[in-house]
Amino acid sequence: MLPNVGPWEMIVILLVAFLVFGSKRLPEVARGIGKGIREFRREISGVTDEINGTRDAVRNAPPPASAFKDESEKKDEDARNPSDPVIL
């Protein structure tokens, strides 16, 4: 959860929170923080899903029409100027 926070640091954080908020408000504050974290994770998950969906849609999209036009022009040019003459 918290990187590089050992047990002694966690005890100090909890002690300071207890002194600041008191024993009556501490559970309310903890619930509020928990709700906030859950909502944040839910929103991040939604954004991630939306980004992945857009990425997949772009990957699966057909190539632009200009790509087909370039290929057809190349085939027409090859038909007009064959590199290997046909001997009959």
Residue numbers of the domain that contains 25: 7-80
pLDDT at 21: 86
Torsion, Cα of 14, 17, 19, 23 (10° steps) = -90
Q: Is the pTM of this model over 0.85?
A: no
pLDDT at 26: 87
The residue count for the chain:
88
pLDDT at 39: 96
Residue 37 in any domain: the answer is: yes
How many separate domains does the chain show?
1
Residue 2 in any domain: the answer is: no
Residue 20 in any domain: the answer is: yes
Residue 85 in any domain: the answer is: no
Residue with tokens 């008191």: 22
Residue 1 in any domain: the answer is: no
The tens place of each residue's pLDDT in the chain, 88 residues long, gives: 557 888 899 889 889 988 888 888 888 988 999 999 999 999 999 999 999 999 888 888 877 666 566 666 666 565 666 565 666 6
Residue 21 in any domain: the answer is: yes
